[in-house]
Amino acid sequence: MITTVTANPSVDRTICIDSLVRGDVLRGTRSSVEPSGKGVNVTLALHTHGHATTAVLPLGGASGAELRSMLDASGAGYVAVPIAEAVRSNISLLEPDGTVTKANEPGPQLTPPEIEALAEAAITAATSASWLACCGSLPVGVAPGFYADLIARGSAAGCRTVVDSSGPCLEKALDASPDLIKPNIDELAELTGRRLHTLGDVVDAGKLVRGRGVGAVLASLGPRGAVLLDHDGVLHGEAPVGRPVSTVGAGDALLAGFLAGGGRGAEALHMALRWAATAVQQPGTLFSGADFNADPGVTITATPDLSLRLT
């Protein structure tokens, strides 16, 4: 069982347009609406491919009711914590070349009792889980140390922990020594205060983070694949994709695939890259019906070229 926590879930609307012209009336060619938020995306990807998972999230307002309805229709397991304010709605504008322009609402403001109820629901769900995944941004009213507290409590309950977040929230989470973090290039650069131009820069930054007590670092590198740093060393993997449709949700698919593959080593990284490559070939964030088992030609190496420039 893998438990995900999404403190700031959303209803995501994707509108396909011919081109983005500021100040113009943009006419969509097609559109879709999906349940979303990083942890929700991870749970949906896992559920789609038969892995036991439960999403823990706050729900409130009309958008919360819409999100609940979509989760019910998906069949994925979830625990909803009632809140007074409405969850956010996000909009993605998708152009034919794969360029995505996103507009994300800030989300609701949670009260102290709602925050505590969310934390309790997460730890209760994690007691029977192998992984507790703390994913995404935090809504207004939630302190940056929220995920750090969940990591400490989850670890005490015997659950492995992973964080996929950014900024102060990710920084605070390191103090709780999570088993895994999954930053992208920008998030890793911000976390370490370094400029990351090459694969070697990423490896050095990952080692710096591991020196703070983090078990492993799974860094997503966009077209350059991903790097895994743990106590066994360094692995770099790539999965070529001819023409991405949308990169939205690719990082969530990467994390879901890694956890589904066992959460460590080359086999898990291979599955992570397969799932991510599948995700970028679809619009939106859902992966229903996608063949995650198809191998796009994933390559994994334990002796990567550290001079490789990042795109």
Confirm whether 306 is domain-assigned.
no
| CATH number of the structural domain spanning residue 240 | 3.40.1190.20
Confirm whether 310 is domain-assigned.
no
Q: Please indicate whether residue 12 is annotated as part of the active site.
A: no
Confirm whether 292 is domain-assigned.
yes
| pLDDT tens, N- to C-terminus, the chain (311 residues) | 999 999 999 999 989 999 999 999 999 999 989 999 999 999 999 999 899 999 999 999 999 999 999 999 999 999 999 999 999 999 989 888 888 898 989 999 999 999 999 999 999 999 999 999 999 999 988 999 999 999 999 999 999 999 999 999 999 999 999 999 999 999 999 999 999 999 999 999 999 999 999 999 999 998 899 999 999 999 999 987 766 666 667 899 999 999 999 999 999 999 999 999 888 777 655 555 555 556 668 999 999 999 999 97
Total of domains in the chain: 1
Q: Which of 12, 149, 179, 252 is catalytic?
A: 252
Confirm whether 232 is domain-assigned.
yes
Confirm whether 307 is domain-assigned.
no
Q: What range does the domain containing 193 cover?
A: 2-301
Two structure tokens written together for 98: 């794969």
Confirm whether 7 is domain-assigned.
yes
Confirm whether 170 is domain-assigned.
yes
Cα of first residue to Cα of last residue in the chain, in angstroms, is 35
Confirm whether 79 is domain-assigned.
yes
DSSP the chain: -EEEEESS-EEEEEEE-S---TTS----SEEEEEEESHHHHHHHHHHHTT--EEEEEEE-HHHHHHHHHHHHHHT-EEEEEE-SSPPEEEEEEE-TTS-EEEE----PBPPHHHHHHHHHHHHHHHTT-SEEEEES---BT--TTHHHHHHHHHHHTT-EEEEE--HHHHHHHGGG--SEE--BHHHHHHHHT----BHHHHHHHHHHHHTTT-SEEEEE-GGG-EEEEETTEEEEEE---SS-S--TTHHHHHHHHHHHTTSSHHHHHHHHHHHHHHHTTSSSS--TT--TT-----EEESS--TTPBP-
